[in-house]
Amino acid sequence: MSKHNKRYNSPSRMWGIPTKEHFWAPKVRPGKHPKDRSVPLLVLIRDMLGYAHTAREGRRIIGDRKVMVDGKAVTDPKAPIGLMDVISIPELNEHYRLMFDQHGRMRLVSVSPGQESWKLCRIEDKTILKNGEVQYNLHDGRNLRSQDANAHKTKDVLKIEVPNQLLMDNYPFAEGSVAIITGGKHIGEVGKIKEYEIVRSSKPNLVHFQEGFTTIEDYVFVVGKDKPVIEIPEVGIL
């Protein structure tokens, strides 16, 4: 498999990088986020934040352990950075959260002081272990264990402290909860869950929102009980 990636074939629109100015683009290394829903750390530092003019400068910044992701220094320029990851540059006292805007582009949203110490993670699956514990499998590859198998449900969102993974709060996938859409034609929109419809077929279940739109359950990411607990990307122009 090729270690290189032509910029024309990369998700340049989602990353927000020009297609024709250069021939090559960094390739996302396999990791905690899917390739089609993540951005290499080098693109984030060089193109999104503008802290480097070239790939060499970006690799030097990353290699010097000046960039932290979810509270840990990351030195791999091709490391996949995905939804809800928290990126920090301690020397500049700057902190960002990676999200999708309403144009389907990945956006870095500046977070208020103190919010860089936690992130939101959606429960994708639950596994019962041999000792009776339940393991919650989260959307960013993390796993949390609990003695209470009924404490949280699949599609709930956990607020966890990073990097020590201490549970701080739980936002249930339920009527009245506030969620952001992470895919489909309503990507980036925020609304309150009105109804959860179970479809008796091979098609995915549907979620109806009070704002009048509907999407599938896989695209719903709860971000609060009454109001969002995180900053939402502003609607920009193309």
Altogether, the residues listed in the chain come to a count of 238
Q: DSSP letters along 50-62, please?
A: ---SSHHHHHHHH
Contact in structure between 27 and 40 (CB atoms under 8 Å): yes
**What is the model's pLDDT at position 238?**
38
The pLDDT of residue 138 is: 97
d(CA 44, CA 107) in angstroms, rounded, equals: 10
Phi and psi at residue 126, to the nearest 5°: -130, 140
For 75, the 3-state DSSP assignment is coil
Mean pLDDT over 28-33 rounds to 89
Tell me what pLDDT residue 64 has: 97
pLDDT of 24: 57
* The model scores a pTM over 0.85: yes
The pLDDT assigned to 104 comes to: 87
Percent of the chain whose pLDDT exceeds 90: 70
CB 85 within 8 A of CB 140: yes
* Average pLDDT of span 117-128: 95
Mean pLDDT score, 53-58: 92
In the chain, at which residue ranges do the beta strands (DSSP E only) sit? 5-6, 24-25, 38-40, 68-69, 72-73, 80-82, 86-89, 94-100, 106-110, 118-128, 134-138, 143-146, 157-161, 166-171, 178-181, 190-197, 206-209, 214-216, 220-224
pLDDT-derived band at 28, boundaries 50, 70, 90: confident
Structure tokens at 12: 């340049």
- Rounded Cα distance between 58 and 62, Å, is 6
- Better pLDDT: 161 or 26: 161
Q: pLDDT grade, residue 237 (50/70/90)? A: very low
Percent of the chain whose predicted confidence (pLDDT) is above 70 = 88
Residue 21: pLDDT band with limits 50, 70, 90: low
Looking at residue 71, its pLDDT comes to: 94
pLDDT band at 35 (very low <50, low <70, confident <90, very high): confident
For residues 47 and 66, the model is more confident at 66
pLDDT of 231 over the 70 cut: yes
Summarised one tens digit per residue, pLDDT across range 194-222 is 999 999 989 999 999 999 999 999 999 99
Please, which pLDDT band fits residue 10 given cuts at 50, 70 and 90?
low
Kindly report the average pLDDT of the chain as a whole number: 89
pLDDT, tens digit (0-9, with 9 covering 90-100), for 145-186? 988 878 899 999 999 999 999 999 999 999 999 999 999 999
